[in-house]
Amino acid sequence: MARESIVGEKSLAFAKRIAKCYRYLNDKKKETVMSKQILRCGTSIGANVREGLYAQSRKDFISKLNIALKEAGETDYWLDVIHSAGYFTDDEYNSLKVDNDELLKLLTAIIKKTKENGERDNR
């Protein structure tokens, strides 16, 4: 369960950064549509990870983490759009992008490992 705790901590920290990003985009840049999009998907990553920790089964756990992975993928898209539209500096973009990429890698590894362990259990 240690890897799930790491992804839980990192996704919570990322959600806090995304909430601050939303405030910045909304208040300072007066951007309301994309800021809401990135707020939704960027905070949903951690919410789904947390749900996964309380999953009823391995299948349910994998499902919740797959949703978190999809939300991280959507967050990646909105980071790219917001940056290319000129709302983020390169440093702001790169900082968030590195954290999101780390979540993508962690989630992918956890899902893969959980599936492999399930296949071993079924033999």
pLDDT at 4 (0 to 100): 54
Q: What is the pLDDT of residues 83-93, one digit of tens each?
A: 999 999 999 99
DSSP string for the chain:
-HHHHHHHHHHHHHHHHHHHHHHIIIIIS---HHHHHHHHHHHHHHHHHHHHHT-SSHHHHHHHHHHHHHHHHHHHHHHHHHHHTTSS-HHHHHHHHHHHHHHHHHHHHHHHHHHHHHHHHT-
11 pLDDT band, cuts 50/70/90, is very high
- Maximal C-alpha separation, the chain: 57
pLDDT at 2 (0 to 100): 54
Q: What is the pLDDT of residues 47-62, one digit of tens each?
A: 999 999 999 999 999 9
Q: Domains of the chain, with CATH numbers? A: 2-115 (1.20.1440.60)
